[in-house]
Structure 1
Amino acid sequence: MQKSALSFYIFFGLLLLGSFNFSNAQTKISKNTTAYDANIPKQYVRLINTMIMKTGIAATNAARIHGYVGITLYQATNGGSPTYRSLTNQINSFTNPPIANKNLLWDVVANEALKTVADSLFSYLYPTLANYNYIRKALDTLHKNNNIYFKSIYKSPKQIEESAIFGRKMAEYVYQYSKSDGGFRKSIEETVARDYTHYEAPSGSSWDDTKTRSRISIQPTWGKNRTFIKDVYEQTKPANPIVFSKEPDSDFYKQAMEVYEISRQLTFDQRLIAEYWRDEAVVSYTPGGHTIHILVNALEKEKASLDKFAYAYAKTGIALNDAFICCWETKYSTNCIRPITYIQEVIDKRFKPSFYTPAFPEYTSGHSTQWGAGAEVLSSIFGNQYAFIDQTDYLRDKLVPRKFKSFDEAAQEASMSRIYGGIHFRQACEVGLEQGKRIGRSVNGLNWLK
């Protein structure tokens, strides 16, 4: 058995041990989702993050998955919430989702909705990635064990079935909705053809994908995808980057020199920060998954109810998805050169960033944009001064947990990590962070409360 598969089984075994230990097990039926704990969605979201890591999908795709799963959970359980308003006609083209009756078991609804939509969103991977079939089995096992638990506590098979039917119906609606967003892929072959290809940058652009290590562009059309918040890119579009120049007295040259000088004298803590927030595919949950992991830990700490979890997860998923789309639109409309190419050509051909530079343009920083959006919505949920310990990367390289006084502090550090790593110029990080915050404020501006 491969080491990665073994580690997954160990993780999933621990997850299942907790599946029968509901912290506030439902002892009576309630029409109100505030009476249900969040153990069901917590299990699924953590498993989805592990699926994201083990399948090695891109950060953009990971944020998209969390966005749609979050919306599914929120809408599926919204009929039992006395607090939160439906997203119907609030998010882009989301016009006619199923409506629940009030006599449902909301944890059963959540279990069925989450399993169905997660299975659908990952389905394009299954036919060609035989080595990852155990991941699908893990999803099936979690679903099955939860159903065994429900049968042990609920006395009406008919009510269980009706609840499951509605959960599936909502998941199927959201999955069909996802197919028209521009990010839907039918297969691995289609993904490779559409997302990893040569891109002809407009004449005069400073970025050229033939100068990247892979000599391709990653997802050059992702910025054209449908966002959840209508016209959010137009509302949050950043200013153009600093004008390209090779002249030593130019602002562009000066920002490149800053990255070069920092790379030559990195402190131990700066190296640690760069590695901690690296969040590459395969070895991590991706940047968005990292943010989601922090969210789930905070919700667990606060003993959130089912409806609070659904609200927080949907809100964060929407923000991360839209942040990456807006960022990619900015990247491929500005086509700005990366530090590695500029510094090697203009300043020092021996320059090497701390790690691999992705094959897409420089401006703005994806890490910064998604964390700006994430920090804005997380602060709206937990408060501007919510202190926490982040243990997301304990699984790799023995990275120690990091402490933060607020989500904004974490966002600032994650943004700066890309400068320390030699991946981005300062402007891409600072402007990206602010762009993300504006996107987050747009998400906060939805009519969430009844």
Structure 2
Amino acid sequence: MKGFLFAALAALLLLCSCGDDNAYIKEMHDPLLYNKTVKKLNDIVLENNFPPMIAARNYAYANIAAYEVIAAGDSNYVSLSGQIKHLPPMPQPSKEAKIDFEFAALLAFCKVGNAVTFPEGSMDEYVSDLKKKADDAGMPSAIFDSSVAYGNKVADSILSWSKKDKYAQTRSATKFTVTTEDGRWVPTPPMYAQAVEPHWMEIRTLVMDSASQFMPVRPPKYEPMNKSSVFYGAVMHVKNTVDSLTDEQRHIADFWDDNPFKLNVSGHVMYGTKKFSPAGHWMNIVGILASKKKADFDETVCAYTRASIALFEGFISCWDEKYRSNYIRPETVINKYYDPEWRPYIQTPPFPEYTSGHAVISAAAAETMTDMFGDNLSYTDTSETEFGIPPRSFPSVRKAAEEAGQSRVFGGIHYKYSCDVGNAEGKLIGQLVIQRLRMKK
């Protein structure tokens, strides 16, 4: 009997020991941990006032790094090397190395995120916390060391590749010249800031053949005094809408405002307030959708990567058109011809009007998420609650993207046709990402 009890006790101890040995898997493979890691980068981007297109670049490269680690360790996923034509083959793990690929993916994301943002080392403390979390959860030292080493190798490869996308060259490119030609964009109050990123269309694309692949139709002719013209009707629609906003329309405009830096002016007092950029808002939405679908860690990484690539491409396509048409903002027209005291509900951003960037990038990201999670996934977006803005619920992610575009009319910063055309432009970009990037077998 004693022998039986001893054997049972030994078996129980062995079982508990085995469970403890694998405790780190539950901790480090939690998809919510990846959501938290993306949110950490999102917060850094917010605090340092990155313009939306640069924010999208940050998210794209960091997520691609994490995805390439996952693709190396999970046979269900396919590397993007070669699918993105200029992405070289990634370092492959040795057969002898014992790697926790999820942990390595987190570290690769952070290393790239650290390198493409500023100030330098912004994610160092968070990385230390991740490593401590893995160590405290009992990750064996051999696995820990191999995972760190592999995550670094992939991150270094992505960083080397990223430096060839012409971003550095555009930092010293010529500034945009504002002209007084009627119908052209000019800086708007209260900042009267110079045009943001007029050379962004020169950034290397990831899936599009060129920045102009989805060049939209020409905007309506500038005819502010022709009451029968399409342009006049569009301007009046913006003015009348803003002048009679409902509470619901105000909520929609505030919810999708996503102004990374709003200048508030009260008399002689000026101060800035910050929110997520449109790209940051969509990174949050991806996390909400993945959690709603109970996606595992690897699928969650895949979702973020697909969406971030669509956002990256969307900004390049949209900025190509913005600085081609160089179209005037509603605020400028209304102030000049109809009401010099009129102001939009939200602040006009410092770049040309056509097409709506929010409409383009929202539709692009929504297409990739619809392909992954379906067109009937209802969800509640709580992204803006930290800024004091109540959540909104949507029957599908496509409906959310449509609302994001139309919110710019309620905000008074875009004509309706710019949002409609932008939504169509974004859908084509998202569909191209789906078509050209086969990520899951």
TM-score normalised to structure 2 length: 0.85
Inter-partner Cα distance in structure 2 for 1:155 and 1:296: 26
SS of equivalent to 1:352: coil
Q: Is the 8 A contact 1:37 1:304 kept in 2?
A: no
- Which amino acid in structure 2 is aligned with residue 55 of structure 1? N
Inter-partner Cα distance in structure 1 for 2:378 and 2:125: 35
CA apart distance, 1:155: 5.8
> Is there any run of 5+ residues in structure 2 with no aligned partner, and where?
1-18, 262-273
Distance 1:200 1:98, change over 3 A: farther
Aligned residue among 90, 108, 115 for 1:113: 108
Indicate the RMSD between aligned Cα atoms, in angstroms: 2.5
Equivalent position of 2:284 in the other structure: 293
Inter-partner Cα distance in structure 1 for 2:168 and 2:31: 29
- Which amino acid in structure 2 is aligned with residue 218 of structure 1? V
Equivalent position of 1:383 in the other structure: 374
Distance 1:210 1:142, change over 3 A: closer
Q: Please say if 1:400 is aligned against 2:390.
A: yes
CA apart distance, 1:290: 0.7
Aligned residue among 118, 121, 146 for 1:162: 146
Q: Is the 8 A contact 1:26 1:36 kept in 2?
A: no
Equivalent position of 1:13 in the other structure: none
Equivalent position of 2:16 in the other structure: none
Aligned residue among 57, 82, 106 for 1:64: 57
Inter-partner Cα distance in structure 1 for 2:313 and 2:66: 18
> Is there any run of 5+ residues in structure 1 with no aligned partner, and where?
1-23, 127-132
- Which amino acid in structure 2 is aligned with residue 268 of structure 1? D
- Percent identical: 29
SS of equivalent to 2:56: helix
Q: Is the 8 A contact 2:310 2:429 kept in 1?
A: yes
Q: Please say if 1:206 is aligned against 2:190.
A: no
SS of equivalent to 1:403: strand
What per-residue deviation string (whole Å, max 9, x for no partner) do you get for residues 313-369 of structure 1?
110000001101111001001111110111122222232111221111110001111
SS of equivalent to 1:218: coil
CA apart distance, 1:92: 4.1
CA apart distance, 1:110: 1.6
Inter-partner Cα distance in structure 2 for 1:180 and 1:25: 45
Q: Please say if 1:347 is aligned against 2:326.
A: no
Q: Is the 8 A contact 2:63 2:304 kept in 1?
A: yes
Equivalent position of 2:205 in the other structure: 227
Q: Is the 8 A contact 1:29 1:105 kept in 2?
A: no
Q: Is the 8 A contact 2:381 2:392 kept in 1?
A: yes
What per-residue deviation string (whole Å, max 9, x for no partner) do you get for residues 229-288 of structure 1?
131544322111112223222111111111111121111111111111101104222111
Distance 1:29 1:349, change over 3 A: closer
Equivalent position of 1:8 in the other structure: none
CA apart distance, 1:433: 0.8
Distance 1:68 1:205, change over 3 A: farther
SS of equivalent to 2:314: helix
CA apart distance, 1:37: 3.1
- Which amino acid in structure 2 is aligned with residue 221 of structure 1? H
What per-residue deviation string (whole Å, max 9, x for no partner) do you get for residues 14-52 of structure 1?
xxxxxxxxxx9982799xx9x943244222101111111
The structure with the largest alpha-carbon Rg is 2
Inter-partner Cα distance in structure 2 for 1:28 and 1:267: 52
Inter-partner Cα distance in structure 1 for 2:386 and 2:194: 31
Q: Please say if 1:368 is aligned against 2:385.
A: no
CA apart distance, 1:145: 2.4
SS of equivalent to 1:261: helix
What per-residue deviation string (whole Å, max 9, x for no partner) do you get for residues 110-159 of structure 1?
23212211111114x34xxxxxx8xx2xx223222222232344564233
- Which amino acid in structure 1 is aligned with residue 149 of structure 2? I
Equivalent position of 1:250 in the other structure: 229
Equivalent position of 1:448 in the other structure: 439
Aligned residue among 261, 269, 276 for 2:248: 269
CA apart distance, 1:384: 0.3
Q: Is the 8 A contact 1:105 1:160 kept in 2?
A: yes
Q: Is the 8 A contact 2:184 2:326 kept in 1?
A: yes
Inter-partner Cα distance in structure 2 for 1:219 and 1:149: 39
Distance 1:235 1:385, change over 3 A: same
Q: Is the 8 A contact 2:284 2:383 kept in 1?
A: yes
Inter-partner Cα distance in structure 2 for 1:73 and 1:210: 39
CA apart distance, 1:194: 5.1
- Which amino acid in structure 2 is aligned with residue 324 of structure 1? F
Aligned residue among 338, 356, 381 for 2:329: 338
Distance 1:29 1:101, change over 3 A: farther
Distance 1:26 1:179, change over 3 A: farther
Q: Is the 8 A contact 2:21 2:139 kept in 1?
A: no
SS of equivalent to 1:235: coil
Distance 1:208 1:155, change over 3 A: closer
Equivalent position of 2:130 in the other structure: 146
SS of equivalent to 2:219: coil
- Which amino acid in structure 2 is aligned with residue 166 of structure 1? Y
TM-score normalised to structure 1 length: 0.84
Q: Which moved more, 1:57-66 or 1:224-233?
A: 224-233
Q: Please say if 1:78 is aligned against 2:56.
A: no
- Which amino acid in structure 1 is aligned with residue 196 of structure 2? I
Q: Please say if 1:323 is aligned against 2:318.
A: no
Inter-partner Cα distance in structure 2 for 1:405 and 1:382: 13
Equivalent position of 1:423 in the other structure: 413
Q: Please say if 1:99 is aligned against 2:89.
A: no
CA apart distance, 1:297: 1.9
Aligned residue among 276, 279, 304 for 2:295: 304
CA apart distance, 1:434: 0.8
Inter-partner Cα distance in structure 2 for 1:233 and 1:366: 14
- Which amino acid in structure 1 is aligned with residue 202 of structure 2? K
Q: Is the 8 A contact 1:110 1:167 kept in 2?
A: yes
What per-residue deviation string (whole Å, max 9, x for no partner) do you get for residues 202-255 of structure 1?
x96722435665252111111221111131544322111112223222111111
Inter-partner Cα distance in structure 2 for 1:444 and 1:59: 23
What per-residue deviation string (whole Å, max 9, x for no partner) do you get for residues 86-123 of structure 1?
10111141123222345421133123212211111114
